[in-house]
Amino acid sequence: MNLEQMKSCLYGVYAIAEEKSTANAEQLKLDNGAVINVFGNGNYNVQGKNSAEVKEHIEQCLGINKIIDKNKKVFIVYGHDEKARNELENILRRWGLEPIILDKKASGGKTIIEKLESQMPEIGYGIILATADDEGYRKDAPNEKMFRCRQNVVLELGMLLSKLGRERIAILLQHPNETERPSDIQGLLYIPFEDKLEPDASKLLAREIEDKLDIVIPASKL
């Protein structure tokens, strides 16, 4: 664990009263009396008052980081709204996750479906960007016209459902009062948004990802 990772681990739980460099380590003195030395090789030790409590907290952080490494790949399904896709990608990277976007992956002669299937074993979560790209209505009922997401989005949603299950999928639905839901399957999570994902939709998504992947996203990254 390097110095910045240690600070991130302490953030919101312990206050750093003093920070200084010693001959062989970066030293953090906490307001509860504990002293943490972070060495250049990634090792650390905890001394002083309340050291057992602080050490236990750091060990929990290390366990969380291992879970993040395991589940950090998040598959993004999207249509024509590249602005929303880019915003979502930037949000996920800020949270320390790895967004998987098919059109940024080398094809290797594979079809879209084959590329998607090849990524599935490593994916921890799926996000569907159901943006208002198309329009449609029931036959002979033009008065029911609503926005719809692209057909490829519906197809990939079905594939993710079969691989990940409902619990590990969130659907970000743009203009919810004017856009048709791509599926009426019970138990799917729909998070509404208008033109931007931040701050409201992203906060709801963060809580859902934390819960389903058993990770902690630092408050400073939200």
The H-or-E segment that residue 161 falls in is helix 151-164
Residue-wise pLDDT tens digits, 163-175: 888 899 999 999 9
Q: How many CB atoms lie within 10 A of CB 36?
A: 28
Instruction: Report whether 15 contacts 27 (CB < 8 A).
Output: no
- The rounded mean pLDDT for the chain is 87
Question: Looking at residue 78, what is its pLDDT?
Answer: 93
What is the separation of C-alpha 54 from the centre of its chain, rounded to a whole number of angstroms? 27
Q: How far apart are CA 216 and CA 13, in angstroms?
A: 13
Task: List the one residue out of 93, 71, 81 whose CA is nearest residue 172.
Answer: 81
Burial class for 54, CB neighbours closer than 10 Å (0-12, 13-18, 19+): buried
pTM here is 0.66
Q: How many CB atoms lie within 10 A of CB 179?
A: 20
Residue-wise pLDDT tens digits, 103-153: 766 555 667 677 777 777 778 899 999 999 999 998 999 999 999 999 989
User: Starting from the edge strand earliest in sequence, which strands make up the sheet with 25-30, in order?
Assistant: 16-21, 25-30, 34-39, 44-48
State mean pLDDT over 163-192.
Answer: 90
Q: How far apart are CA 7 and CA 49, in angstroms?
A: 19
Task: List the one residue out of 133, 129, 107, 127 whose CA is nearest residue 118.
Answer: 107
Residue-wise pLDDT tens digits, 202-212: 999 999 999 88
